[in-house]
Amino acid sequence: MTVNWAAFTEAEPDLARTAEERFGAFTHHVLATLRKDGSPRTTGLEVRFLNGELWLGMMPDSLKALDLRRDPRFALQANPGEGQSMGGGDVRIAGRAIEVEDPKQKAAYGEEVEPPEPFHLFRTELTEVVRTYVEDDKYLVVQIWQPGVPLRTIKRT
């Protein structure tokens, strides 16, 4: 089961807000895709939360775009920032990236974001959102959300 960003936000507004803040704190994040041979590839990426969707924009024929065309599964990790603090925690998103072919949808995105032309545009369908953070300098807290499943919180010392 997969859902878009709007459905996730409706299901877990606090976690969604935290995730958007973490991704908004820095411009570049890390995207993992699968190469032709099935091995992982990680690359830098900018993301946008716009009109209830999490969007991934890419340069034409970039390897990550070609990877996603071949196999839409991805993992995305928010830039943790400098030093050791990871303010707001570590946020990771997994799902499927669906390429947007509709010229009107791409044009609307282009008007809002003004990316270099031409570009690939992918909307995301989420399968998991995970936030990991430290609470009271004592507990490692992991929040795990998946579509159709209540938010799970695991605390470890």
- Whole-angstrom Cα distance, residue 150 to residue 114? 37
What proportion of the chain, given as a percentage, has pLDDT over 70? 97
Tell me the residue type at 133.
Y
143 pLDDT more than 90 = yes
Residue 85: band (very low, low, confident or very high) from pLDDT cuts 50, 70, 90: low
97 pLDDT more than 90 = yes
Could you give the C-alpha distances from 43 to 32, 66, 71, 79, 105, in angstroms and in order? 7, 13, 16, 12, 25
The answer, as to whether pTM is greater than 0.85, is: yes
Q: Give the model confidence (pLDDT) of 23-82 as tens digits.
A: 999 999 999 999 999 999 999 999 999 999 999 999 999 999 999 999 999 999 999 887
CA angle centred on 147, ends 143 and 150, rounded to 5°: 50
Residues in Cβ contact with 11 at an 8 Å cutoff, skipping those fewer than 6 apart: 3, 145, 147
86 pLDDT more than 70 = no
**Range 103-118 average pLDDT:** 88
Query: What's the confidence (pLDDT) of residue 84?
Result: 63
83 pLDDT more than 80 = no
**Range 3-12 average pLDDT:** 97
Residues in Cβ contact with 64 at an 8 Å cutoff, skipping those fewer than 6 apart: 31, 33, 41, 43, 45, 58
- Whole-angstrom Cα distance, residue 106 to residue 127? 24
110 pLDDT more than 70 = yes
Tokens representing residue 11 in the block: 């299901």
